Structure 1
Amino acid sequence: MFILSLTYIVPLDRVDAHIGPHMDWVARGYEAGIFLASGRKEPRTGGVILAHGDRPSLEALVATDPFVTAGAAQYELTEIVLSRTAAGLEALKG
């Protein structure tokens, strides 16, 4: 499992110009079964996506995020190996 941590690198008004295409991109990640959970950071400095897959595929995928292609944000990918989860989330363990 990976944590995809998105950080905005431009002012929010420039980020907001790409919200629609970004959300379409996120929806495609869910439809493909890659994304498990997502949301924005608070304060609004970026977002986080929980995803599964291999690092090269996820790196290629995040490179196509409209926020990234527009130069509005960058990602940090962190791989985690879950050893324990709350009840109902056992499927997240690798």
Structure 2
Amino acid sequence: MFVVLLNYTSPIEAIDELLDDHLDYLRQQYASGVFVLSGPQEPRSGGVIIARAASRAELEAILAQDPFQRAGVAEYSLIEFRPRMTAAGLEELREL
């Protein structure tokens, strides 16, 4: 499992121009089961994604398809972790 931190590197106007395409991309990744949770940071300086992928390389290839990444308006950092504990109802996210 990965935490993906997005940091906007362009003015918010450039982000907003790509937002609909970015949201379509997110929907595709949710449908494929890669993304588990996502949302903008507060204040709006980037975003956070919780993702499942077999490897860092696989996730990096998926993130390379993000319109924000393709346009160069955001930087991405990845933190890999192994969830051991969850709240009730989220047990399927645990890695044993």
**TM-score of the two chains, using structure 1 as the length reference:** 0.96
Instruction: Tell me the percent identity.
Output: 45
Give a deviation string over 1:14-38, Cα, whole Å, max 9, x none.
1111001100100000011111111
Structure 2 residue runs of 5 or longer lacking an equivalent are: none
**TM-score of the two chains, using structure 2 as the length reference:** 0.94
What's the CA shift for 1:92? 1.0
Residue 52 of structure 1 corresponds to 52
Structure 1 residue runs of 5 or longer lacking an equivalent are: none
What's the CA shift for 1:65? 0.6
The aligned amino acid for 1:4 is V
- How many residues were matched structurally? 94
Q: Which of structure 1's runs of 4+ aligned residues deviate more than 6 A?
A: none
Matches within 5 A, 1:1-94: 1-53=1-53, 54-94=55-95
